[in-house]
Every structure is written in C-alpha cells, then in structure tokens.
Amino acid sequence: MPVSLRVVLDQVVHPTNDDLRGVARDLTRALIATAPVGCRVEGIAPVEDGIDVDGLFNVTAAKHMRRDWPLGFVRGSARGIVHSPTLLAPLMAHDRVNDGDQTVVSVWDLSPWVSVAERNAQGASRQRGLLRRAARYADAIVVPTHAMADELSSYANVDDRLRVIPGAVELDFAAPIDSGARRIGAGLPERFAATSGGTADADGLLAALSAIAATDLAAAVLDVPTGQEDGVAELAQAAGLSPDRVVTLGPLARADRAAVISEAAAFVAGGTRTAWPWRAVEAMSLAVPLVAVDSPVHREVIYDGGLFVAAEDLGEALRTALGSGRERLSVLGHDRSRAFTWAGAAEKVWHLHADL
C-alpha cells in the first residue's frame, strides 16, 4: 500500500496571497515529481464548483471535505501524513509514534509578530493564533531561513521542531517576450528602478525610494496594498521624488510582474521584514542587479548575489549597481537564484517527513 503525503491546498482554492498560492501550487507539483518509490501525493482541499484540483496537480483530491472550511480543515482529515505550505492545517492531538500520524506546517512571514506596524493588520491576530495552535500540535514547523528560525523561537515554544526549507521563484517565472509592451501598459518609462512594499514597512520603502531619488531613474513600487497608494505617494515625496517619477502598482500576475522586474535597471530591497524576500529572489533570477538593506534575512538569502548595505548607503550602492558593478551583479545574482528550486524544497520535505 503506497504512503500518501497529504498536502493542504487552501491557498489554491481560497488564496489570500499570490505568493502563497504559488507556493502551494509549485511545491505540490514538485512533491509529485520527486515522490519516492511507494509514495504518492494527495491534496486536501474544500470542494468548490469550478475548482479542478485533480486537473491542476494530477493528484487525488480529498472529496469528502465540507464547503464550510473556516480554519482550512475538517476535524476528520487529520489522520495520516499531512504537509501544509501555510499555518492552516488540520491540527489536533495525535499519536505520531504509534499511529504514524504527523502534521507539518509552514511560516513565510513573521511580520504579525515582529512588526509593530503590522501587528494589528488584518489577519495578523489570526496568524498568531494559528502559530499558537501549531506550537501545541505540529510535529514540525518549516521556515525558509535560519534567521526566521532564530526569531520564531522567541515567539513560540517550538522546542527542536523548527526546520529550514527555502522557497523559490514560481515555476516558469521568466520575462515574457512582450515585456516592453507590458512595461508601457503599466505606465512605466524606459528607465526606472523597481522596489516593493507598502506603508506597513514605511522605513524600508522610504529608504528604497530615497536611494532611487538620488539617481535620474523613475521608481516602480510593486505590491502596494489597496488603499495605501496615497501613503506611498507621501513617502515618495518625502524621499524627494516628484509624482511624475513614481508609478505605484498593486499585486501583479506572474507574467506582468516578471515583465516589470526584468525591464528595471535595478531592484532595491529596502525592507527589513523577517520574511522570505520573494521579489529580491525574483530579481536575481532575472539577472537584474540587486541592492538591499543589510539584514539577517538578506545576508542569508542574497549572500553574494547582490549588494547589501546600511539603509543610508543604499543610494551609493544603487549607483554602483547601475554603473561599474552592473554586469557582475547580474551574473552573481542569477547564479545565486539557482540555489533555490521547488524540486530541492520538495526533496527536503520528503526527507523531513521520513525523519519524523
């Protein structure tokens, strides 16, 4: 009888975040591709009209799930080996040793615990509650960096259950052939630098915009949450950027985001959030020169694939990335991005569950 690894697919059916939806989709595909002999992957998802989980993943979806899935699970689905790409998982008391049941959850962003500005954001309280539940019942908690593992240990009693498995860019993430047209469609000029974030990380975004203001480039701000456009405009003004030099963009589809980043002269990662740096890794994968604020996460993930400096030195680093260091940073960043793949992550997931 084959061993089934049951993957929670709540982010596919009810996505709350595009990056997490990509994680659920791409990690599951990689788990299927790397499944050891005698193992298979099964999806745990709510039954929804128009959602073909079988077609998306070529796996057996659990069809007994109820439509009302308020916490991402039904109580009867906790048996077996369960892996969740998020904190949303069927967690309860279980006997891993005698029954073989085990549940592993994942955390990609510690902002609801670390950031004062984001502690009261929508959904933050729920995330903290889900972590408390995971600390009580989960057999392991996956985080993408060692820096996050160190930080998380101070917020939850997780003992020795933390495991580090990095993330990666979305499968098939590449600059589309019509990147130039997509850039124009987004309202961007030919020469610009890209950054990302909103007012929740105001200091980080201000640092990035100030660095861009020290050049002759326009600024493209990705991932601006709805309702924060005016706040971003105020930060840009404070950084010395005139309105005609700033283009604010909300969450973009994969191809549009790849087009914007690939067309940028450089990417500036000004934030210091304790989270997986999705856009920085995407920039490296597209060979876009990367400069970043020095932080434990950036040092661990970017390593030699970009320049990381103090916030006040971002402008000088950006000028280097646009000039003498451009070609070198493009090559090093692209090489560094190859260290992160969903196939590699999937193999680590299989090893983790085998160890448990």
DSSP 41-58: EEEE----TT--HHHHHS
The number of residues in the chain equals 356
pLDDT of residue 341: 97
- Cβ atoms < 10 Å from Cβ of 92: 12
Contact by Cβ (8 Å): 305, 290: yes
Contact by Cβ (8 Å): 276, 108: yes
Contact by Cβ (8 Å): 292, 133: no
What residues form DSSP beta bridges with 195?
221
pLDDT of residue 115: 65
In angstroms, the CA 113 to CA 19 distance is 20
pLDDT of residue 119: 61
pLDDT of residue 272: 84
In angstroms, the CA 352 to CA 164 distance is 10
pLDDT of residue 271: 87
Cβ neighbours for 181, distance < 8 A, ≥ 6 positions apart: none
Amino acid at 31: L
The SS3 assignment for 244 reads helix
Q: Per-residue pLDDT tens, the chain, 356 aa: give them.
A: 678 898 998 888 778 889 999 999 999 999 999 999 999 898 887 555 444 444 444 443 333 333 333 334 433 445 688 999 999 887 776 666 556 688 999 999 988 887 666 666 666 777 888 888 888 889 999 999 999 999 998 888 888 899 999 999 999 999 999 999 999 999 999 999 999 998 888 999 999 999 999 999 999 999 999 999 999 999 999 999 999 999 999 999 999 999 999 999 999 999 888 899 999 999 999 999 999 999 999 999 999 999 999 999 999 999 999 999 999 999 999 999 999 999 999 999 999 999 98
Radius of gyration of the chain (CA): 21
Torsion region of 288: left, alpha or beta (phi above 0 gives left; psi -120 to 50 gives alpha): beta
For 28, 122, 247, 290, 351, the CA distances from 284, given in Å and listed in that order, are 24, 31, 22, 7, 28
Amino acid at 267: F
Torsion of CA 22, 27, 32, 36, to 10 degrees: 180
pTM as predicted: 0.90
pLDDT of residue 121: 65
Residue 34 has what DSSP assignment?
T
Amino acid at 99: D
pLDDT of residue 238: 96
The string of DSSP letters for 275-301 reads B--HHHHHHHHTT--EEEE--HHHHHH
Provide the edge-to-edge strand list for the sheet that holds 246-248: 246-248, 218-222, 192-196, 267-269, 290-293, 307-309
List, in order of start, the domains of the chain with CATH numbers: 3-168+341-355 (3.40.50.2000), 179-337 (3.40.50.2000)
Q: Where are the alpha helices (DSSP H) in the chain?
A: 10-13, 18-33, 53-57, 96-99, 111-114, 124-137, 146-152, 179-185, 202-213, 229-239, 254-263, 278-285, 296-302, 314-322, 326-337, 342-355
What residues form DSSP beta bridges with 275?
109
Contact by Cβ (8 Å): 118, 124: yes
